[in-house]
Structure 1
Amino acid sequence: MSKKWMITLIFVTVLWMWIQPMASSPVYSQSGGHPDSQETEELIVGFRDDTSVDTAFDVHRKMGMQVVKSVRGPLRFDVVKVKGKTVEEAVQMYRRMPGVAYAEPNAVFRLQDYFPGYPVYPKDPYYITGQWGVKQVWADIAWDKARSSSRTVVAVLDSGVDDTHSELSGKVIKGYDYVNKDTNPMDDDTQFGGHGTQMAGIIAAQTDNLSGIAGMAPYAKILAIKVCGRDGTCSIANIAQGIQYAVNHGAGVINMSFYGYQSSTTLSNAVNYAYSKGVVMVASAGNDGKNRVTWPCYYSQVVCVGATDMDDKKASFSNYGIWVDVAAPGVDIETTRRGGGYGYASGTSPAAALVSGEAALLKAQGRSYANVISAITKTTDAVPGMGTYWRYGRINAYRAVQY
């Protein structure tokens, strides 16, 4: 064999070895796994209503899986740790077992201000900045008609809430911590000043106290439910349990400032349960700047929120599309920080929190679920991208409380 042919053969062999792994890579669908979803070694196994505890235990025993947690009530599923096989293999095997309704990966979603270029900056708490986002949606004028009520509870499913902050003192109801499995959801340990504390401040910070900021629904209560860890990830199992807890403990509004690119039967069941009880759910669309659906935002029972800037234009980072319901300010939104003080938050997270605050104003007026949704969506202001970036426009709280 000539030297030229030998070099050619080596080149072709190396090229084949390089492309072969790509050729065998899995293809993801919108309803299944997605390369943007963090890998997991856990599985959620849902059982039919008529499946006994003994049958469920026997299924796990035959599968050789370790049960991490069992969730009962309106939601009925177990979380198991996969051993000895891949997650996909375990999914397929469980689906063939008696009494099993579904099986799916316990994927994780992410909190919404975790992206480059938009950190939260420290701010002197006594410096009056004007809170442009609150004014942009006419909330300060809406307060002449409605300021919410202490009977209105907004569940913040997030990384916890620092209830020692002066703006939140006496306003936070201690829920549950599904990350550390305890009754102290106040240890907001995420970076950037505490994500859950930021959302709580935007929704319901003290007003007329001559310092700091004003919340969208200043008289509302915050139900703190920790479903997201220090790294900003939130498992589907934790989120579903958080929704169930919120509904069962009197929440009228649920704020979910996180997203994932994977649908889930478990999450869908939880959303349907909240919807059946008339609870208004609000979620952020995501910060990847793409027209690509995210969950829980994509569920029809959830108000999906994109972000706008000070000029009422789509924020560069905001996900978009006709699947997004409304827009709200989401750039440099002043809010509370973990440990005291104030800062700025950018992302579809604060945008969703503003809409949750608006929903709390409407809930306090005694409105039904359907009427709250109509008031939020049908009183928006027409802004660039209406009908393209989002179905309706940018929220207007003043018009909503008069709807």
Structure 2
Amino acid sequence: MGKNRAYLLAGVLVILVIAASSLLFKEEDAGEDWESGATVQSGEQIARLQNNSGNLVNMSVNNIQNGENIKNRLNQNPEIKAIYHNKRDASHYYDHEAAVDFIEEPTSDELDDITNDINGKVVKRLNSTYIFRSESLDTPALLDYFNTRPNVEFAEANFILMQNDIKMPNDVYYREKYQWNLPAIETEKGWNISRGNKRIEIAIVDTGVDLDHPDLKNRLVKGYNVLENNSHPDDDNGHGTHVAGIIASETNNKEGIAGITWFNKIMPIKAMGAEGYGSTFDIARGLFWAVDHGADVINLSLGNYQRSEVLEEAIRYAYKHNVVLVAAAGNDNSSQPTYPASYPEVLSVSALNFDGKRADFSNYGDYIDVAAPGVYIPSTYFKKQYAALSGTSMAAPHVAGLAGLILSANSELSNREVMKIIKNSAIDMGGRGPDNDFGSGLIDVNNSLKSAEDSKSRRQKFRERLRDLFQ
């Protein structure tokens, strides 16, 4: 089955690139709450990328190389240090800072004693966790200090998480490239079962989203800018906008590209800056905010190699509130476990290329749950543009979008059941059974949505029949 699917992927790509033509969706007044019943002809969608003047363009972005450039800049910054997990893979943190979680809320006198002892101050706070910065002590010295205090639950470095793809266009344009990723995962067939539902919201904790992009502005709900503590999570990097477009770029509107879901809403959370990275503390704040404001699915196209109790606490909080969590595995062609992808509450996603093989940059290992397309993926980009990017950052939102479709088809499912459906419905791509490259296999939108439909309770099916009768 794996070999057949690999040949199919290559064949579909060649045929569709040769035969690419206009977007030919039949006009239909579906309405935003449409979930099933209409028919979409497989192979009918040919996506065309357009710039603001209407010319067909596709901005290619060498994000894998630029990811290495960001790491080099971090390595050269004297205020940022690294922990090496092996000869190649490292996690970075902000020096002179520590993330400290208290057993009991510290009094003002206790905080004064601490800041005097460390010659520093409190710079951020999230629930019982504080970020302290010292003018004189480095991070190891701060951790030694806090680990001797009786009221401290844990103390750790303020780690940096990087997006698993980077911006910086290289100005290479390609004309009329087909969205090979959608037919590869049986998206069009799945749309006959569900195209999504606006009541199911997918949060993207990332660099924000271009709030004025013509293919996204109608798909957004209220979001949050963690860095500025306001409700304007506009994207100044491009990464978050690209992730958002893969999930929910407005479909069947004769413009740009098509998202996996037609009607699910995007909740933009800006927790990383223009440089393309952010702290575990800010990512955690974004997670808490998303959960508390109704997110059903959260996409995390970011990570590093260091476990963080600050981040893990936020992950557990989201999971306990029945949120489906999806994370990118990383782009270093490494088997070193990455976080948050390696947490058991998270669906970890590796990247697959055109011919059905693991992308040469994709991380791998026994923590991989599923694979999705991650090479040359066209999507929306900041400043109202479109671009094609590669990375596990591009693979993860395929899975997040699928989770949104599954919950749209059957809202009674728990997050655990959604994760199980995605894995059990995947197409086996490697050796028989789960493997380190693909996990359970390549996601299959159609198979997953069939399983979601089949799992509906008799009561739920009866309610839907009554609703259909009186519409």
TM-score range (shorter-chain normalised) is 0.7 to 0.9
Contact in 2 for aligned 1:155/1:223 (Cα 8 Å): yes
- Code of the residue aligned with 1:204 in structure 2: it is A
Task: Using the TM superposition, give the Cα deviation of residue 53 of structure 1 relative to its aligned residue in structure 2, in angstroms.
Answer: 5.4
Tell me what 1:393 maps to. Answer: 441
Contact in 1 for aligned 2:223/2:231 (Cα 8 Å): yes
Contact in 2 for aligned 1:122/1:342 (Cα 8 Å): no
Contact in 1 for aligned 2:367/2:436 (Cα 8 Å): no
Task: Using the TM superposition, give the Cα deviation of residue 264 of structure 1 relative to its aligned residue in structure 2, in angstroms.
Answer: 0.6
Secondary structure of the 2:367 match is coil
Task: Using the TM superposition, give the Cα deviation of residue 96 of structure 1 relative to its aligned residue in structure 2, in angstroms.
Answer: 1.1
Tell me what 1:271 maps to. Answer: 315
Contact in 2 for aligned 1:159/1:227 (Cα 8 Å): yes
Task: Using the TM superposition, give the Cα deviation of residue 98 of structure 1 relative to its aligned residue in structure 2, in angstroms.
Answer: 3.0
Question: CA-to-partner distance for each residue in 1:4-59, whole Å, 9 max, x for gaps?
Answer: xxxxxxxxxxxxxxxxxxxxxx996869xx74424433211111146555544543
- Code of the residue aligned with 1:45 in structure 2: it is V
Tell me what 1:64 maps to. Answer: 119
Tell me what 2:47 maps to. Answer: none
Task: Using the TM superposition, give the Cα deviation of residue 65 of structure 1 relative to its aligned residue in structure 2, in angstroms.
Answer: 2.3
Q: TM-score by structure 2 length?
A: 0.73
CA distance in 2, matches of 1:291, 1:284: 13
Judged with a 3 Å threshold, the aligned counterparts in structure 2 of structure 1 residues 120 and 249 are, in CA distance, closer, same or farther, namely: farther
Tell me what 1:142 maps to. Answer: 190
Contact in 2 for aligned 1:330/1:349 (Cα 8 Å): yes
Secondary structure of the 1:331 match is coil
Tell me what 1:170 maps to. Answer: 218
CA distance in 2, matches of 1:120, 1:332: 14
Q: TM-score by structure 1 length?
A: 0.85
Question: CA-to-partner distance for each residue in 1:77-136, whole Å, 9 max, x for gaps?
Answer: 111112212201110111111311111110101111139xx9676768xx6533110111
Tell me what 1:200 maps to. Answer: 244
Contact in 2 for aligned 1:157/1:254 (Cα 8 Å): yes
Task: Using the TM superposition, give the Cα deviation of residue 269 of structure 1 relative to its aligned residue in structure 2, in angstroms.
Answer: 0.5
1:181 matched to 2:229: yes
- Code of the residue aligned with 2:92 in structure 1: it is S
Pick from 96, 101, 105 the counterpart of residue 153 of structure 2. 101
Aligned pairs for 1:356-375 within 5 A: 356-364=400-408, 365-366=410-411, 367-375=413-421
Pick from 83, 96, 114 the counterpart of residue 166 of structure 2. 114
> For structure 1, which segment, 206-215 or 238-247, has the greater mean C-alpha deviation from structure 2 after superposition?
206-215
- Code of the residue aligned with 1:402 in structure 2: it is K
> For structure 1, which segment, 162-171 or 378-387, has the greater mean C-alpha deviation from structure 2 after superposition?
378-387
Contact in 1 for aligned 2:91/2:159 (Cα 8 Å): no
CA distance in 1, matches of 2:435, 2:423: 12
Question: CA-to-partner distance for each residue in 1:117-174, whole Å, 9 max, x for gaps?
Answer: x9676768xx653311011111111111011111111111111100211111221123
Aligned pairs for 1:35-74 within 5 A: 35-49=90-104, 51-52=106-107, 54-72=109-127
Judged with a 3 Å threshold, the aligned counterparts in structure 2 of structure 1 residues 135 and 27 are, in CA distance, closer, same or farther, namely: closer
CA distance in 2, matches of 1:359, 1:54: 47
CA distance in 2, matches of 1:56, 1:244: 24
CA distance in 1, matches of 2:121, 2:164: 32
Task: Using the TM superposition, give the Cα deviation of residue 344 of structure 1 relative to its aligned residue in structure 2, in angstroms.
Answer: 0.4
- Code of the residue aligned with 2:261 in structure 1: it is A
Judged with a 3 Å threshold, the aligned counterparts in structure 2 of structure 1 residues 259 and 119 are, in CA distance, closer, same or farther, namely: farther
> For structure 1, which segment, 48-57 or 309-318, has the greater mean C-alpha deviation from structure 2 after superposition?
48-57
Pick from 138, 149, 152 the counterpart of residue 200 of structure 2. 152
CA distance in 2, matches of 1:198, 1:169: 13
> For structure 1, which segment, 106-115 or 84-93, has the greater mean C-alpha deviation from structure 2 after superposition?
106-115
Aligned pairs for 1:217-296 within 5 A: 217-296=261-340
1:89 matched to 2:141: yes
CA RMSD of aligned residues (A): 2.3
CA distance in 2, matches of 1:315, 1:376: 20
1:333 matched to 2:377: yes
Task: Using the TM superposition, give the Cα deviation of residue 253 of structure 1 relative to its aligned residue in structure 2, in angstroms.
Answer: 0.6
CA distance in 2, matches of 1:287, 1:342: 22
Judged with a 3 Å threshold, the aligned counterparts in structure 2 of structure 1 residues 270 and 129 are, in CA distance, closer, same or farther, namely: same
Tell me what 2:350 maps to. Answer: 306
Q: Structure 2, unaligned stretches of length 5 or more?
A: 1-80, 452-471
CA distance in 2, matches of 1:63, 1:169: 46
Pick from 447, 450, 460 the counterpart of residue 402 of structure 1. 450
CA distance in 2, matches of 1:99, 1:56: 11
Pick from 397, 401, 424 the counterpart of residue 353 of structure 1. 397
Contact in 1 for aligned 2:118/2:137 (Cα 8 Å): no
Contact in 2 for aligned 1:47/1:56 (Cα 8 Å): no
Question: CA-to-partner distance for each residue in 1:347-376, whole Å, 9 max, x for gaps?
Answer: 000100111100111122212111101111
Secondary structure of the 1:254 match is strand
Contact in 2 for aligned 1:120/1:344 (Cα 8 Å): no
CA distance in 2, matches of 1:295, 1:62: 32
CA distance in 1, matches of 2:290, 2:278: 16
Contact in 2 for aligned 1:59/1:98 (Cα 8 Å): no
Q: Structure 1, unaligned stretches of length 5 or more?
A: 1-25
Contact in 1 for aligned 2:82/2:92 (Cα 8 Å): no
Contact in 1 for aligned 2:299/2:325 (Cα 8 Å): yes
Alignment coverage as a number of residue pairs: 365
